[in-house]
Structure 1
Amino acid sequence: MASTSRTRTGRGRGRGGRGGGSSSLPPPPSTLPLIIEEFFIIIYEDPLVKKALPKKFADYLDGQEPAKVYLRAADCGPRLWTMEVLFDGQGQMYLDKGWENFAIAHGVDFGCYVHFKYECDHVLTVKLFDGTMCRKYYYLDDEDTDDKSNDDVKPCIHPL
């Protein structure tokens, strides 16, 4: 009988710990703040042309609409790749100038999954997955560390 009593009061197993009642329930989704920290895109078309980011992420940045964002490959050291950002006036956001160099240097190709994690100050950390859904790992070539130019395409090198 004790278990029946618990079920009726809502204080049984799986109800969020001590205290029970409605105060332990999370707020309804409509009252939660919109936080978009991670998302991915799949490369279906030419990997070197501008890339559309999810509309929800563009909505998250509403009002800020940065002219630039910075990509950091998760395994390529501290280098930031500057990307010019375009907004089309209909809520769509694109990575434009700078994307081609990043894509070449990191081997972005058809069928790749590109995972983005929004850090802060318009920095996105990027992880790449190939068409087999396996992560691509890279490291920064030591010869590239002295050159500060963003104009040259210097590939991260895949460890053997």
Structure 2
Amino acid sequence: MASTSRTRTGRVRGRGGRGGGSSSLPPPPSTLPLIIEEFFIVVYEDPLVKKALPKKIADYLDGQELAKVYLRAADCGPRFWSVEVLFDGQGRMYLDKGWENFAIAHGVDFGWFVQFKYEGDDVLTVKVFDGTMYRKYYYSDDEDTDDESDDDVKPCIHPLYIRGL
């Protein structure tokens, strides 16, 4: 028979029983692989100039020799913005050419938050929040024709304001 004792909180502590002494706890965090999926930037300076991304995402993507990433507004379906990336040699990564077009089309302004989720394959899904921390929603252009080529797909640029959410 296994010996047990009660702790001050009333929990039973002891030897034996289920598990046979082995732990089913996950390994300590230092042994887990680093996976970065989501991050954000705050627009403190001119919203149209290149934007520095957090160092951890730059470290994560370093060595993959990215020339560009594809930004996709989270609620606009399969419409992508091609944005060149720069690595400065000091561990920083910037969204460069193409960022200005994305920022203009989505109305990004001073004090806004832009949340990114790295989806793999150089794709970043983006959510935009205004200075009041209210998320901006966009919808796709319904006037697209079926004969558009993939290279000519218009990005989602129309703001959709949803009240009461």
TM-score by length of structure 1 reads 0.82
Residue in structure 1 matched with residue 157 of structure 2 by the alignment? 155
User: Which of 3, 6, 10 is residue 3 of structure 1 equivalent to?
Assistant: 6
Tell me, in whole angstroms, the C-alpha distance in 1 between the residues paired with 2:160 and 2:132: 16
* C-alpha displacement of 1:142: 1.9
Tell me the alpha carbon deviations over residues 95-153 of structure 1, each in whole angstroms, 9 at most, x when there is no partner: 00000000000111111110101112010100011111111111012235648547x88
Is the aligned partner of 1:116 residue 2:116?
Answer: yes
Residue in structure 2 matched with residue 15 of structure 1 by the alignment? none
Pairs within 5 Å for 1:34-53: 34-53=34-53
- Structure 2 residue runs of 5 or longer lacking an equivalent are none
Which stretch of the first structure deviates more once superposed, 58-67 or 82-91? 58-67
Q: How many residues align?
A: 153
Which stretch of the first structure deviates more once superposed, 120-129 or 61-70? 61-70
Residue in structure 1 matched with residue 80 of structure 2 by the alignment? 80
Which stretch of the first structure deviates more once superposed, 87-96 or 21-30? 21-30
- Secondary structure in structure 2 of the residue aligned to 1:23: coil
Residue in structure 1 matched with residue 100 of structure 2 by the alignment? 100
Is the aligned partner of 1:30 residue 2:30?
Answer: yes
* C-alpha displacement of 1:94: 0.3
* C-alpha displacement of 1:9: 3.7
Residue 21 and residue 139 in structure 1: after superposition, are their counterparts in 2 closer, same or farther (change >3 A)? farther
TM-score by length of structure 2 reads 0.80
Q: Which has the higher strand share?
A: 2
Q: Which has the larger radius of gyration?
A: 2
- Structure 1 residue runs of 5 or longer lacking an equivalent are 12-17
Residue 35 and residue 20 in structure 1: after superposition, are their counterparts in 2 closer, same or farther (change >3 A)? farther
Q: Which has the higher helix share?
A: 1
